[in-house]
Amino acid sequence: MTDRFSSRNATPTSPAYDGFEIVPDDAVPLEEVTRAIYVGIGGSMTATLISGETVTFENLPSGFVLPVRISRVLVTGTTAAALVGLV
């Protein structure tokens, strides 16, 4: 398959090239810092940004892509589900 963009470097604003399932955990960080998060089932999500600040995103809709770089999704305060980390 041809990939016209294979010679370009990925930037924070370029499309995601990989993804992984996010299992919220209060102690364990994500396997990789995200570029964005896909929210499969809407709700709230409490996450730690790469700056170290922890915030809660309220009322996230189902099917939403949240462009945020995070290192952890906490189970405490998170009601959203089917989360996918995009990198």
What is the structure's pLDDT at 15?
Answer: 79
pLDDT tens string 7-59: 777 777 777 889 999 999 999 999 999 999 999 999 999 999 999 999 999 99
22: number of CA atoms within 13 Å, CB side? 35
**DSSP states of 50-64:** TTS-EEEEEEEPTTE
Domain limits, the chain? 19-86
**73: exposed, middle or buried (Cβ count in 10 Å: 0-12, 13-18, 19+):** buried
DSSP state, residue 6: T
What is the structure's pLDDT at 10?
Answer: 74
